[in-house]
């Protein structure tokens, strides 16, 4: 990770144990495994990431101390399909642990996605199947390989590293690659031998013989209308920005946090704290996205296998794309590069992977005194963001820090929807008509945020907080009385919580050992927005693999190795071996180091307006101080400009 722009940063970055692996460290991990474990040319690296130091070690760390560096790696041998998990000591140059993972299929890799597309476009059987549909220009074809759920893999291919492909073609050289689906054509591929096993060709599936005429383009030169008029808008901070970045340590308006990055979660926020009267009070130990599950809700031939695990199968880090000034981020931007690796273990630098900037956010607070006039403060927020492209879809992730102690996490989805054609005279039951004889299947994007909060320290309890209207009684003759009930969640089974509209249920993470000046326990409230029910049969294959989506919130006691809510290897999985398995122990979650797993996202009932490219659909949730401070922490925000104060 390295900073590419100089705005607001300190000259010599200080090394820290949470710094992501460098390009050189990726190379070393691969070299050590080649040397010590015979990881050869027929192997692939699925993942390499830093072993993050434990909480005690982190607390004890002093700048300048020697730093131990270790990495986790998962790799597999393509010849026999066997996968291994390694702990590699970079400090000692040795393999500290090497574990066989029988029956496990590591995540998909970007290399496989490209190699599979390449291989299939040169496959004579594919060329024949396409020619039968009138597609002869293979240069315009894209085969998008997807991962499978185990239950849907044909019996004869069980145990293989199989993928299945969608076939698309561009209407012209620079046309949208996802504009034209090739209906009923799905290659099944052995990704280890990188060869075609068979083609599922249901040309008789009811899809129309003549493809519809669709307008699936978005490039200015390909759309049938002139661009509308718009004037320039500039953001200028003539005196520079108000944040500093020292290595990976980011400081702004009392906030302090550390940036991390890995192949799977992408951006990770570590040790988030708020400086209160000069003392940095912990709020969160680690914030990230641990899984994203995207079941398509269309049981027809072209879609019944479509349940993507964009984090567990593909990885937000691997899919992160470079950001461009003025396009992706506007204003005074500090970019941070990220380093990931390819399946050979070679480092790959993503330039401008993370964008850090400040934004004006309208009014923070205001009052007009009828005698003395108005007093106003402008709100400013710090935004740390990154963008990922997972084949046809884009996810834009924004962590926003506010002056009042609020943290907002917003995800925007954009990109190109999966579409499918249907014959004349039919109406699609499982999607919305978006173009001539073309519909976009309904689907859902469930995102699981892993929120390792440490509110003023690790000993926290989660309370469900619910509003209740009291019945009319002698004490409440007008029926106005409203009380708020705070119920501590004692065990993991109590920690499985669902959104509840009638009680406006939310959750407070409280440190009962720390009191504010008012004498109440300090806390942070998780405000559940952007959540929705799974609407999935509990016996379905999709639900079995992603049981985490069955609740809005799960709470577990912190365990270093519990990171992936649908299991470490959702690729070709049969069931969810993460949260449902851990929580079977029904451990205590009271007055301990808790981790919250918040499930939110987008219930995507597709619209004609989402086609051919989707204007962003944004969803967010909030972490808000609740008694963390004993008064409004923004009284000291200065009036800028000066006329905001009379």
Count of residues near Cu ion by CB under 5 A: 1
Please pick, among 393, 463, 499, 598, the residue that the annotation labels catalytic.
393
381 binds Cu ion (CB under 5 A): no
Q: Tell me how crowded residue 203 is: count the other CB atoms within 10 A of its CB.
A: 12
**Positions 306 through 345 that interact with Cu ion (CB under 5 A):** none
Looking at 99-107, 324-332, 479-487, 597-605, which segment touches Cu ion (CB under 5 A)?
597-605
Residues 606 and 603: their CA atoms lie apart, in Å, by 9
d(CA 571, CA 338): 25
Q: Residue 60: which H helix or E strand, with range? A: helix 55-60
| CA end-to-end span of the chain | 46
When asked if residue 604 is in the footprint of Cu ion (CB under 5 A), the reply is yes
Q: Which is nearer to Cu ion, 105 or 297 (CB)?
A: 297
Residue (of 343, 341, 77, 313) closest to 192 by Cα position? 77
Q: Is residue 133 part of the contact set for Cu ion (CB under 5 A)?
A: no
The window from 96-104, 376-384, 570-578, 601-609 that contacts Cu ion (CB under 5 A) reads 601-609
DSSP state of 312: I
CB of 294 to Cu ion, least distance (A): 7
Instruction: Assess contact for 311 and 291: CB atoms under 8 A.
Output: yes
Min dist CB 415 to Cu ion, Å, is 8
Closest CB 603 distance from Cu ion, rounded Å: 9
Which residue number, 247 or 601, has a Cβ lying nearer to Cu ion? 601
Report the SS3 class of residue 144. Answer: strand
| For Cu ion, the closer CB: 69 or 604 | 604
Residue 331 or residue 530: which is nearer to Cu ion going by CB?
530
Q: Which stretch binds Cu ion (CB under 5 A): 360-368, 481-489, 600-608, 622-630?
A: 600-608
Give the contact letters, 549-588, x = binds to Cu ion (CB under 5 A), - = no.
----------------------------------------
Which residue of the set 298, 302, 310, 593 is catalytic? 310
Residue 113 CB, nearest approach to Cu ion (Å): 20
617 is catalytic: no
**Minimum CB distance to Cu ion, residue 28 (Å):** 40
Nearest distance in Å: CB 125, Cu ion: 32
Which residue shows structure tokens 């004490």? 475
Q: How far is the CB of 618 from Cu ion (least distance, A)?
A: 12
The closest of 300, 345, 305, 311 to 111, measured between CA atoms, is 345
Residues 6+ apart with CB under 8 A from 577: 566, 567, 568
Task: Considering the complex, state which of residue 306 and residue 421 has its C-beta at the smaller distance from Cu ion.
Answer: 306
Phi, psi (rounded to 5 degrees) for 324: -120, 130
Measured distance CA(482)–CA(474) in Å, rounded: 15
Residue 599: strand pairing partners: 448
Q: How many Cβ atoms are within 10 Å of 607's Cβ, its own excluded?
A: 14
Residues 6 or more apart in contact with residue 532 via CB below 8 angstroms: 444, 600, 601, 603
Omega before 294 within 30 of 0, i.e. cis? no
Of all residues in this chain, which one has the CB nearest to Cu ion in the complex? Answer: 604
Q: Which of residues 416-475 bind Cu ion (CB under 5 A)?
A: none
Q: Quick one: 305 or 604, whose CB is closer to Cu ion? A: 604
Alpha helix (H) residue ranges in 417-483: none
Residue with smaller CB distance to Cu ion, 249 or 396 = 396
What's the token pair of residue 289?
Answer: 């996205």
Q: Using CB under 5 A, which of the segments 101-109, 303-311, 354-362, 604-612 binds Cu ion? A: 604-612
What is the side-by-side order of every strand in the sheet holding 393-402? 2-3, 334-341, 347-369, 373-390, 393-402, 407-415, 614-625, 521-527, 506-515, 461-469, 482-488
> Least separation, in Å, of the C-beta of 351 and Cu ion?
28
For the bound state, the minimum distance from the C-beta of residue 368 to Cu ion, rounded and expressed in Å, comes to 43
Rounded Cα gap, residues 107 and 89, in angstroms:
23
Return the bridge partners of 313, or none. none
Please identify, using beta-carbon distances, which residue of 418 and 589 lies nearer to Cu ion.
Answer: 418
Closest CB to Cu ion among residues 341, 604: 604
**Strand positions, DSSP E, 296-406:** 307-309, 334-341, 347-369, 373-390, 393-402
- Number of other CB atoms surrounding residue 598 within 10 Å: 25
Rounded CA-CA distance 108/235 in Å is: 40
Strand arrangement, sheet containing 94-100: 43-50, 70-77, 83-89, 94-100
Measured CA to CA in angstroms, residue 475 lies from 165, 186, 381, 469 at distances of: 67, 69, 45, 13
Alpha carbons 140 and 173: distance in angstroms, whole number: 7
What residues does 196 pair with on adjacent strands? 189
Between residues 293 and 594, which has the closer beta carbon with respect to Cu ion? 293
Nearest CB to Cu ion, comparing residues 16 and 604: 604
Task: List, in order, residues 6 or more apart from 646 with CB less than 8 Å away.
Answer: 372, 373, 374, 375
The two structure tokens encoding residue 267:
């951006």
- Taking contact as CB under 5 A, which single stretch among the options 368-376, 399-407, 431-439, 599-607 is the one that binds Cu ion? 599-607
Q: Please, what is the minimum distance in Å from the beta carbon of residue 604 to Cu ion?
A: 3
Residues with a known catalytic role: 310, 393
Give me the residues that bind Cu ion (CB under 5 A), please. Answer: 604
């Amino acid at each position: 990770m390295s900073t590419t722009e100089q705005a607001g940063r300190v000259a010599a970055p200080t090394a820290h144990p949470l710094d992501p692996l460098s390009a050189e460290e990726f190379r070393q991990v691969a070299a050590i495994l080649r040397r010590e474990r015979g990881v050869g040319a027929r192997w692939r690296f699925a993942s390499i990431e830093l072993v993050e130091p434990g909480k005690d070690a982190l607390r004890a760390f002093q700048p300048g101390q020697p730093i131990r560096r270790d990495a986790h790696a998962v790799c597999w041998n393509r010849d026999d399909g066997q996968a291994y998990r390694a702990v590699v000591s970079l400090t000692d140059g040795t393999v500290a642990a090497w574990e066989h993972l029988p029956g496990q299929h590591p995540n998909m890799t970007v290399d496989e996605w490209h190699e599979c597309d390449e291989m299939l476009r040169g496959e004579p059987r594919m060329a024949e199947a396409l020619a039968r549909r009138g597609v002869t220009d293979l240069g315009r074809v894209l085969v998008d390989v997807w991962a499978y759920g185990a239950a849907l893999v044909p019996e004869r291919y069980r145990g293989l590293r199989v993928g299945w492909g969608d076939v698309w073609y561009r209407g012209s050289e620079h046309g949208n690659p996802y504009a034209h689906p090739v209906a009923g054509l799905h290659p099944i591929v052995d990704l280890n031998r990188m060869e075609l096993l068979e083609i599922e060709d249901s040309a008789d599936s009811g899809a129309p013989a003549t493809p519809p005429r669709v307008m699936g383009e978005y490039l200015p030169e390909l759309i049938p209308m002139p661009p509308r008029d718009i004037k320039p808008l500039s953001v200028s901070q003539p005196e520079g920005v108000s944040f500093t970045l020292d290595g990976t340590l980011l400081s702004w308006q009392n906030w302090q946090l550390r940036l991390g990055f890995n192949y799977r979660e992408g951006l990770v926020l570590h040790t988030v704290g708020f400086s209160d009267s000069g003392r940095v009070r912990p709020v969160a130990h680690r914030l990230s996205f641990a899984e994203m599950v995207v079941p398509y809700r269309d049981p027809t031939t072209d879609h019944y296998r479509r349940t993507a695990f964009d984090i567990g199968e593909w990885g937000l880090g691997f899919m992160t794309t470079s950001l461009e000034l003025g396009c992706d981020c506007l204003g005074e931007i500090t970019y941070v590069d990220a380093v990931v690796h390819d399946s050979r273990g070679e480092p790959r630098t993503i330039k401008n992977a993370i964008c850090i900037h400040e934004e004006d956010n309208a009014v923070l607070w205001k009052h007009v005194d009828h005698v003395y006039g108005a007093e106003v403060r402008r709100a400013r927020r710090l935004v740390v963001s990154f963008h990922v492209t997972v084949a046809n879809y884009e996810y834009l992730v924004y962590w926003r820090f506010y002056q009042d102690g609020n943290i907002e996490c917003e995800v925007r989805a954009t990109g190109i929807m999966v579409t499918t054609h249907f014959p004349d005279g039919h109406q699609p039951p499982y999607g919305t008509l978006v173009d001539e004889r073309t519909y976009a299947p309904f689907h859902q994007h469930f995102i699981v945020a892993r929120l390792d909060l440490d509110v003023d320290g690790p000993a926290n309890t989660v309370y469900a907080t619910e509003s209740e209207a009291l019945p009319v009684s002698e004490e409440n003759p007008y029926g106005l009385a409203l009380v708020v009930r705070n119920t501590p969640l004692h065990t993991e089974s109590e920690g499985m919580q669902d959104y509840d509209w009638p009680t406006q249920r939310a959750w407070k993470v409280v440190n009962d050992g720390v009191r504010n000046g008012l004498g109440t326990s300090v806390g942070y409230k998780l405000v559940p927005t952007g959540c929705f029910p799974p609407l999935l049969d509990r016996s379905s294959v999709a639900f079995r693999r992603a049981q985490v989506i069955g609740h809005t919130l799960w709470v577990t006691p912190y365990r270093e190795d519990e990171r992936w809510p649908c299991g470490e290897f959702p690729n070709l999985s049969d069931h969810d071996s993460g949260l449902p398995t851990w929580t079977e122990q029904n451990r205590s979650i009271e007055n301990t180091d808790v981790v919250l797993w918040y499930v939110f996202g987008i219930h995507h009932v597709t619209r004609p307006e989402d086609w051919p490219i989707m204007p962003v659909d944004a969803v967010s949730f909030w972490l808000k101080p609740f008694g963390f401070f004993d008064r409004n922490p923004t009284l000291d925000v200065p009036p800028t400009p000066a006329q905001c104060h009379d």
